[in-house]
Structure 1
Amino acid sequence: MPFTFERIGAAPPAETARQYMVRMRDGVRLATDVYLPQLAADPRDDAAFPAVLVRLPYDKNSRYVYFDRIARLFTARGYAVVVQDVRGKFRSGGTTVPFLRESQDGHDAIDWIVHQCWSDGSVGMFGDSYYGFTQWAAVAAQHPALRAIVPRMTAADFNTIWHPEGQASPVWLEGVDYFAHHWVDNDSYDYRVDRSRRPVIEQYEEAFRAIGARSLWFDLLAPRPAGLSTQPGLHPFDARPVPVLHCVGWFDNIVTAHMRDYLELASRPGWDAVQYLRAGAVDHENYRLAQAPIRDEDNHNTNEDALARMLPEYANPAIDFFDVFLKGVRPVSSLSRVTWELGHAGWRTATAWPPAGSTERTFHLTDLARAGGPLPGASLADAPAGDEQATQWAHDPDSPVPSLVEDSFAFLHAYPDLTPVAARDDVLVFSAPAVSEPLDLAGPVGVGLHVTSTAPEFDVFAKLVDLGPDGRAHQIARGQAAVRAAGAADEIRLDLGHTGYRLRPGHRLALLLAGSDHPLFLPAPGTGENPWTALTTKPTTQTLYSGGACPSRLTVTVMPPTGP
C-alpha cells in the first residue's frame, strides 16, 4: 500500500500587508509582509514607527498563526509589524535547514527594517516557539536597533529541550517528529505513522521516499542525535543585554526549558535588570486551564469568535512591554517584574520568581506495598518511612502506558482524566491527604527516586496530579529521565518544571510513576538497543526504594494562601 501524505503550501498573501522579497547577505531573498499603522495603500511618507519583527517557519499568511489579525492590534497602537517566512520555508528562498542561519538572517532583516522610510530606527521582536528562538538568534547577532524581545514558550537553545543540562532523556518522539513534517522543504507535510511498528525509523524513511525529499534536521536527531548546537555562533546570553518579557505557560510541554532560560538570565549581571516574566495557566497552543477541556465555541484554532476573544490577552502584554522599551511612552515602573497566574485562582504580581514567602515542601513516598494503584494508592507523607521499603513495576515495550493525548502542544484541549492510567498495574500511584484549605503551588517541582531495573537502560516518567473529590485526576506538571547502566539504587532526579496552581479544598496531590508514555515518547525496548531501530523487545522490572538510606520524595514549592 503506498504511503499517503498531504502537502501544505503557502496560503494567499494578506490583502492588508505589503509584500517584499528581502535580500540577505548571501543573496537569498526572504518573503516579508509589512503591516503599517495607516492603510498600506496610502502610507504617509513622513510617518515613522517602531517595528515589531516576527520570523517564523509556519507560513506567515496561514490561519494557524493568524498574523493578519494580530497585526491589527499592534498597528492600532502605532507599531509597524514585519512578518517573515524564515529561510527555506514557504515563500522564502534558501535551503530548508532550521536554526543555523537565523542569527545572520535576523540581523539582516532588522537592518532592512531600519533603512525603510516608515521606520523610526527601533525594532522589537515577538512570537512563540520557533519564532521565539529566532528572537534569541537575533539577540546573538547584536544589531543595535534591536531594543526588546518577547519570546513566548520557547528556548534559546533547542538542544536543552531534548537534553536538559546534558542529561539523558527518553526519546521525545513527538518533538523529533515535528522536524519530519515541517522541515523537509518549503512546504509542510501531514501524514501519520504507526508508532507501534518496528523499527520506528523505517516509517519515516517511507515518508521521505514518498515525498521525494528528507528532513536534514531529522537526520541529525534520529536514530542517534548528532549533538549539533542550535546556537552555532555567539550564545545570546553572552551578547549585549536587551529587555526580555518571557511568556511561559504552566501547561506548555517545553516550560521547563524556558524557565531555565529565565532563571539563568535573572541571575546574570547586566541581564538581570531587564528580565520580566509573564506566566499563565495555558499550554503551547494558548488553550487555557479555565476552559479545559476545550469546547468547540472556545477553540480559537477553528472558531473565529474564540480567536477574537483570545488575541488581546495574547498580544496586549507584548504591546505594553514595547510601549516601555520601544516607544518610551510608559515608565519602566509600570511593568511588574513577574506577572503570573495561579491556576484556578487568577492573576498575581510579584517582584521575583518564586514569589516572596514561598517555601519548599517535601512529600515522602511511603506505604510502598499499596503503590500498585488504582488511586489513591500509596502515601505522600510529610515524614519518611523509618525502614527501607521497596515495590516494583513492570515495563512491557509492546504494551506501553498510554499518553492519552496525541498532541501535548495542545494538552489543555483534551485535558484527559488520568484515572485509567493510574489503574494500570504497570503504574505506581502515591497520594497525599485531601487539603482542607487551599494549597498554592508557586515554583519548581522535582522528584528524587531510588530505582533499579533488570534492563541495562530504562526510562522513568513522573506526573504530578490533582486528584479531585469526584475521583478524576488531572496533570499539573510532568518530568522524565532516561537511566543508562542500571546498578545500585542511586538517586534519579526528575525536573518537573515550574507551576502556579491552586489545589482546592477537598483535592489531593498525587504522583504517578511509569516506565513509558506512548506515543509521545518512544518506549525503551528493554534490551539496551536504540529504540529507533530496535526490532526486538524485552519486558523489564523496575524496583523503587524509599525510606531509610533511600529517601524517594516529591518536592514542591508552596506559598501562603493569597486569598480567593
Structure 2
Amino acid sequence: MSFTIVETMTSEPPSEHAREHMVAMRDGVELATDVYLPDGATAHSAILVRTCYDKSSRYTALTFEAEYYRSRGFAFVTQDVRGKFRSGGETLPYAHDVADGYDTVEWIIRQPWSNGRVGVTGQSYYGFTTWAAVASGHPAIRAAVPMVTGIDMGAGHVGAQWSQQVPYLAGLNDLLQIWTDHHGYLAEINWGADSVENIVAAARARIGECRAASRMLERSVDQGWYNPYGDRHPYHTTAIPILHWQNWYDPGLAPLGLRDWRHFRSLAGERDLHFLRVGSADHSGYLLEDVGAGDARNPYLSESALAEKIETECGEVADFFDEHLNGVRPSTPRPRARWHVGHVGWQSSPEYPPPSEPLTFHLSAGGTDVHALNRDPDADTTSLTWTHDPDHPVPSSTDIEAIWYLLAAYPDERDLAERPDVLTFRTEPLTEHLDFAGQPVLTGHVSFSAPSTHVFAKLQDVHPDGTTRPISWGRAVLSARAGDALTLALDDNAYRLRRGHRLQLQIQSSDFPHSVVHPGSDANPWLTTQRTPSTHSLGVGGIAGARLVLPTITVTEDPDEEHQ
C-alpha cells in the first residue's frame, strides 16, 4: 500500500503545573492555551510558544521547558494552533497565525500575572508562528527567537513554485501526517509506489481530506507566490530584537533562515536589532559531536540528553529575553554572531559570514567512478555526462523522515560514487586542516537535453576509512531558456576538514524521495505521470571549466572539541 497508518497521535494531558484556558480569537474560535506561572504573586514577562505538535506532548518537550522558564521567573504560555489537538477551528497551516498570534498576546497582557511584556519563540512550524506573531505588530511583543525555521517557510511548503525552486516532497509528507485533522499521524508513505495525486487520494481515503495538501497541488498549477502575512511580511515590518537560531545540518529550513539573516543585516536602519546563533546540529538538535552515540544522545528519546539541551538552549533563550524584556544586561556584551565550527568549537564575530579567503578547486576529468578536485585546472577541456532517468532516480541517502534528524541518522554516502548518474570529484588526502565558513559556490556550464532540469550538488567529508559524510547541500532548477551557466551557492556551514580527510563534491539530477523527481519535461512534476530520461553534460578543464570555491577562515581553537 502507498499510505499506511502506523500510529495516531492524540492530545496528551497538560502538565500538573499548567492551567489550561480556552482563549477566544476575534472570530470566536477557541484555542487551547496552557499557562505556567513562576512561584510568587508578582507580574511577570511572558514567553509565548504556539505549536501544531501538541503543546503537552513529549515530542515538543514544552512541559519540560516550562519548568526551566518558570525557574527563571518567566510566565510560560503554550498553545495548540487553530485546528490542532485541543484547539478549535479548521486544520489549515499558515492561514490564521498572524491574527491568532496578535489575539493571543492581547489576551496575555490582560491577565493579572502579566507585566505587559511578551517574547515569542518556537522551532520549525512554531518558528513560523513566532515570525507570524512578530508580523502581527502587537506592541507588547518586545523580542523574538525564531528557531530552525524561515520566514517564507510557507511559500515552499504549500506554495509549490516548482519552475523556480526544487520542490521538497518531504514537505508534502509532513502535510499529510500533521495537517489533515486535529490529530497527528505517523504513516509509512511509499512515494515511489504511485503518482503524488493517487497517494494524496489514498491518504484521504484513510484519514480524511488534507486541505493543505489539496491546496498545495492546486497552487502548483499557476505557481503563485504564497504569502501568509498579507501586507505585514516580516522583511518590511520587523522592528524588535531578533535572535536568529539555526543549525547547519538542517537542509530543509536552514537555507531559508540564513537568507533571512542576510536580508536583515543588509538593512541600514534595523540591522543592529538582529543576532545570530548557529550550531553544528540537525533540525532536531542532535549534535555533530554526538554522531555515533545513538539514542543515548537523542533529546527526543533520552531524558538526560533532553535535560542537557534544555539547560543549554533554553538558557540562551532566557538570557536573550531577560536582556530585551526585563532589561537585565549580560555580564559580557552579546556577540553579533555566534557560530559553531564542526570539529573545532564555538566562534563569535561582528558579522556572519566572517572574513574569508577564497580557495578554488577545479573539477577535473579522470578515473572511472571518481574524478578529481585539483587546485589547478586541466589544460584540456572535456565534457562529463550523466543521464537522469525519472523512473530510476538517485536515492536519498536517508529515508524521508530523517531529513529532520539528519545527524541522528547520519548517512555514510560512499556507495553513491558507484552510480553512473552521479558525478563524483575528490581531492587527495589533505596535508593540513582546512577550515571554512559560509557558502561554498559551484560554477560551471551544464547542458541538458530537456527543456529544464534539476541540479543537486553535495559537499562531503571522506574519512580515511572511506566513510563519506554530507556537510553541505545545493539545489537548483535550470531552464534551457536561461542558458547553460550554473552558479550554485551551497548551504552554509562552518566546518573543519581534518588532516588526512578528503573533500568530495557530487553532482546529480535527483534526490528521491526527499525531493520531487524532475519529469524530463516542462510538465508540472507534482501532477504529471509522463516521464522522459534526459542527458546532461558538465564542462571541465580550461579557463571556463567548472570550479568549486570554499570560503576559508582562521579559527580559534577549542581543544575540548578537537575530538569531534
When the two structures are superposed, what TM-score results if normalisation uses the length of structure 1? Answer: 0.93
- CA drift of 1:540 comes to 2.3
Gaps of at least 5 residues in structure 2 are: 560-564
- CA drift of 1:56 comes to 1.0
Counterpart AA for 1:228: Y
**Correspondence for 1:464:** 459
- CA drift of 1:30 comes to 0.8
With 79-88 and 448-457 compared, the bigger mean Cα shift is at: 448-457
> Kindly tell me: are residues 196 and 165 of structure 1, through their superposed partners in 2, closer, same or farther at Cα, counting changes over 3 Å?
closer
On the 8 A contact 1:266/1:275 being kept in 2, the answer is: yes
CA distance in structure 1 between the aligned counterparts of 2:77 and 2:68, rounded to whole angstroms: 13
**Correspondence for 1:559:** 553
> Kindly tell me: are residues 470 and 402 of structure 1, through their superposed partners in 2, closer, same or farther at Cα, counting changes over 3 Å?
same
**Correspondence for 1:208:** 204
CA distance in structure 2 between the aligned counterparts of 1:70 and 1:112, rounded to whole angstroms: 22
**Correspondence for 2:445:** 450
1:175 aligns with 2:175: no
CA distance in structure 2 between the aligned counterparts of 1:415 and 1:164, rounded to whole angstroms: 28
- CA drift of 1:296 comes to 2.2
**Correspondence for 2:299:** 300
CA distance in structure 2 between the aligned counterparts of 1:557 and 1:116, rounded to whole angstroms: 51
Report the secondary structure of 1:412's partner residue.
coil
**Correspondence for 1:188:** 184
> Kindly tell me: are residues 326 and 338 of structure 1, through their superposed partners in 2, closer, same or farther at Cα, counting changes over 3 Å?
same
With 15-24 and 429-438 compared, the bigger mean Cα shift is at: 429-438
| Pick aligned residue for 2:363 from 361, 365, 372 | 365
**Correspondence for 1:403:** 396
1:473 aligns with 2:468: yes
CA distance in structure 1 between the aligned counterparts of 2:379 and 2:481, rounded to whole angstroms: 25
| Pick aligned residue for 2:58 from 52, 63, 68 | 63
**Correspondence for 2:562:** none
Report the secondary structure of 1:362's partner residue.
strand
Aligned pairs for 1:201-350 within 5 A: 201-221=197-217, 224=221, 225-253=223-251, 254-331=253-330, 334-350=333-349
> Kindly tell me: are residues 35 and 460 of structure 1, through their superposed partners in 2, closer, same or farther at Cα, counting changes over 3 Å?
same
Counterpart AA for 1:276: F
- CA drift of 1:240 comes to 4.4
CA distance in structure 2 between the aligned counterparts of 1:498 and 1:212, rounded to whole angstroms: 39
- CA drift of 1:562 comes to 3.0
CA distance in structure 2 between the aligned counterparts of 1:117 and 1:81, rounded to whole angstroms: 14
**Correspondence for 2:28:** 27
- CA drift of 1:343 comes to 0.4
> Kindly tell me: are residues 221 and 259 of structure 1, through their superposed partners in 2, closer, same or farther at Cα, counting changes over 3 Å?
farther
Counterpart AA for 1:249: N
1:499 aligns with 2:493: yes
On the 8 A contact 2:241/2:273 being kept in 1, the answer is: yes
1:15 aligns with 2:24: no
| Pick aligned residue for 1:513 from 493, 498, 507 | 507
On the 8 A contact 1:432/1:510 being kept in 2, the answer is: yes
Report the secondary structure of 1:216's partner residue.
helix
CA distance in structure 2 between the aligned counterparts of 1:504 and 1:151, rounded to whole angstroms: 32
- CA drift of 1:539 comes to 2.5
> Kindly tell me: are residues 167 and 338 of structure 1, through their superposed partners in 2, closer, same or farther at Cα, counting changes over 3 Å?
farther
| Pick aligned residue for 1:441 from 415, 424, 436 | 436
Counterpart AA for 1:172: Y
With 216-225 and 277-286 compared, the bigger mean Cα shift is at: 216-225
- CA drift of 1:405 comes to 0.8
On the 8 A contact 1:179/1:215 being kept in 2, the answer is: no
With 399-408 and 328-337 compared, the bigger mean Cα shift is at: 328-337
Report the secondary structure of 2:65's partner residue.
helix
On the 8 A contact 1:157/1:231 being kept in 2, the answer is: no
CA distance in structure 1 between the aligned counterparts of 2:121 and 2:538, rounded to whole angstroms: 45
- CA drift of 1:67 comes to 0.6
- CA drift of 1:190 comes to 2.4
CA distance in structure 1 between the aligned counterparts of 2:436 and 2:542, rounded to whole angstroms: 28
CA distance in structure 1 between the aligned counterparts of 2:270 and 2:161, rounded to whole angstroms: 21
With 503-512 and 331-340 compared, the bigger mean Cα shift is at: 331-340
| Pick aligned residue for 1:393 from 382, 386, 399 | 386
Report the secondary structure of 1:411's partner residue.
coil
**Correspondence for 1:429:** 424
**Correspondence for 1:36:** 37
On the 8 A contact 2:2/2:202 being kept in 1, the answer is: no
On the 8 A contact 1:465/1:473 being kept in 2, the answer is: yes
Q: Deviations over 1:77-111 (max 9, x none)?
A: 11110001111111111111211211111111111
CA RMSD of aligned residues (A): 2.2
Report the secondary structure of 1:192's partner residue.
strand
When the two structures are superposed, what TM-score results if normalisation uses the length of structure 2? Answer: 0.93
- CA drift of 1:226 comes to 4.5
On the 8 A contact 1:387/1:548 being kept in 2, the answer is: yes
On the 8 A contact 1:52/1:125 being kept in 2, the answer is: yes
**Correspondence for 2:479:** 484
CA distance in structure 2 between the aligned counterparts of 1:2 and 1:164, rounded to whole angstroms: 22
On the 8 A contact 1:180/1:215 being kept in 2, the answer is: no
- CA drift of 1:487 comes to 8.0
Q: Deviations over 1:401-450 (max 9, x none)?
A: 11121121111011111101122122111112322222111112222231
- CA drift of 1:549 comes to 6.1
- CA drift of 1:8 comes to 1.9
CA distance in structure 1 between the aligned counterparts of 2:273 and 2:204, rounded to whole angstroms: 45
Q: Deviations over 1:378-399 (max 9, x none)?
A: 2222233344321101222222
Counterpart AA for 1:337: R
Report the secondary structure of 1:148's partner residue.
strand
- CA drift of 1:347 comes to 1.1
- CA drift of 1:485 comes to 3.2
Counterpart AA for 1:173: L
Q: Deviations over 1:333-363 (max 9, x none)?
A: 53111111110111111111112x4222222
CA distance in structure 2 between the aligned counterparts of 1:212 and 1:425, rounded to whole angstroms: 42
Report the secondary structure of 2:309's partner residue.
helix
| Pick aligned residue for 2:134 from 131, 139, 142 | 139
> Kindly tell me: are residues 504 and 3 of structure 1, through their superposed partners in 2, closer, same or farther at Cα, counting changes over 3 Å?
closer
CA distance in structure 1 between the aligned counterparts of 2:226 and 2:161, rounded to whole angstroms: 15
> Kindly tell me: are residues 164 and 481 of structure 1, through their superposed partners in 2, closer, same or farther at Cα, counting changes over 3 Å?
farther
CA distance in structure 2 between the aligned counterparts of 1:448 and 1:2, rounded to whole angstroms: 39
CA distance in structure 1 between the aligned counterparts of 2:420 and 2:60, rounded to whole angstroms: 42
Report the secondary structure of 2:67's partner residue.
helix
With 216-225 and 515-524 compared, the bigger mean Cα shift is at: 216-225
Q: Deviations over 1:188-225 (max 9, x none)?
A: 22222221123232011111122232233542246544
On the 8 A contact 2:441/2:490 being kept in 1, the answer is: yes
On the 8 A contact 1:394/1:539 being kept in 2, the answer is: yes
On the 8 A contact 2:3/2:189 being kept in 1, the answer is: no
Report the secondary structure of 1:414's partner residue.
coil
Percent identical pairs in the alignment equals 39
Report the secondary structure of 1:449's partner residue.
strand
Report the secondary structure of 1:230's partner residue.
coil
Q: Deviations over 1:230-283 (max 9, x none)?
A: 322311121141101111101012111100001110121232111111110001
On the 8 A contact 2:3/2:190 being kept in 1, the answer is: no
CA distance in structure 1 between the aligned counterparts of 2:240 and 2:371, rounded to whole angstroms: 49
